[in-house]
Each structure stands twice: as C-alpha cells, then as structure tokens.
Amino acid sequence: MRQATVERKTKETAITATVNLDGTGRYAVSTGIGFLDHMLEQLSRHSLIDISLEARGDLHIDYHHTTEDTGIVIGQAVARALGDLKGITRYGAAQIPMDETCTRVAIDVSGRPFLVWKVDFTRHKIGDMDTELFLEWFRAFAQAAGVTLHVENLYGTNNHHIIESCYKGLARALRQAIEIDPRKADALPSTKGVLGDQSDIA
C-alpha cells in the first residue's frame, strides 16, 4: 500500500497528515480555515487519495503559516508514499470547467520541483482567506512533493470557481500521474533510469 504519515511541528504550526495514494477519496480535514478545508477535501475526492489532516496554527496572526505548511506536509506525504517512483505513469494533465471558469493543470512527478502559476484574482479574499495564499500553498506542495506543476486559469470571473478549478485540476492530473502503468510496473519512467536528479531532462 502506498501510504505515508508526516508530522510537522514548528513554533507556528503543528500538523499531522496521512495519505493513501490508492484510496477512494475519503477525507478528514481540519485546519481551522474553512475554505482551505473545502479545497483539500476537493483534492482528496477528485484524486481518490485518502487524506487525513489535522492542523493547529497561529491563526490569530493570519492564515499564512497554516496554509503554507499544509502544502508542505501533504506534499511530503505524497512523496514518501510514492517511494522510488517505479511504475508510475509520471505525467498527468487536466482541463477543468466550472461554470464560466476553465483551468488547465499539468504535472510531472519527476522529483524536480517547479511551479508555474498563471492565476489572477479580482478579490483579495474568498471568505476569510487571502487569495494570495493559494500561490503559497501550490508552491509549497510542488516543492515538498518534488513535482513540476503548471497551473493556468484560462478564463473565469468568479474567484471561488477559479481556485476550486485549480485544486480539482491538480487532483485529476495527480491521479493520472501516480497511477501504476501495468506495462512498466517495475521500471522508472525515464530514459536515464533515474528521477529526481536536477540534470535529468529525459
């Protein structure tokens, strides 16, 4: 079973997360930030990754540390659960429509972290959450998971729809990329035979 648990404790946050990459999309998420909980639940449901996460953070200051650190912890858990990356499909992509909005997400589970973020908002907040924090979450996730991640909102006007389509796009692209390829279940998906080396562009 491709599962992992990660704990992170700092002066700013205390977070524990468990993921099962071969789950059914079950989730139990509690961050103290209602909208972030909603997005992480979408990530679980649409990726079919079971996610259990409990976070306590310095929300009396703002939501920055909790948001960023949940991205780190979930990314680390996904990376640990993937192990040596043998047999995975590696690449995934999704184009997610949500009413007037459409967002494109592409991912390479390569061990090489990189984020391209082409998402703009017309509001500073969704609920009580600053919209600028979504970039921090996606950047933290990509870095910790060791994935190359491109997120581009093609069009849309409703800020809730825009960010929700980003999380759903990540979920669907990640689901595709981490699936085991039955034709190459014992091999790394790279002509170099390694993944994670910054020089590996195969």
pLDDT at 190 > cutoff 70: no
Point out the least confidently predicted range of 95-104, 133-142, 185-194.
Answer: 185-194
Question: pLDDT confidence of 1, banded at 50, 70, 90?
Answer: confident
The C-alpha torsion from 125 through 173 and 14 to 134, rounded to 10°, is -20
Angle 104-91-98 (CA atoms, 0-180°, nearest 5)?
25
CB 64 within 8 A of CB 133: yes
Q: How far apart are CA 160 and CA 101, in angstroms?
A: 10
Would you state the pLDDT for residue 147?
Answer: 98
What's the rounded mean pLDDT across residues 28-50? 98
Number of residues that this document lists for the chain: 202
Tell me, what's the pLDDT at 43?
98
Domains of the chain: 3-177 (3.30.230.40)
Residue type for position 115: L
Any bridge partners for residue 50, and if so which?
20
Helix (H, G, I), strand (E, B) or coil at 87: coil
From CA 141, how far away is CA 73, in angstroms rounded?
8
Query: Distance (Å, rounded) from C-alpha 157 to C-alpha 11?
Result: 38
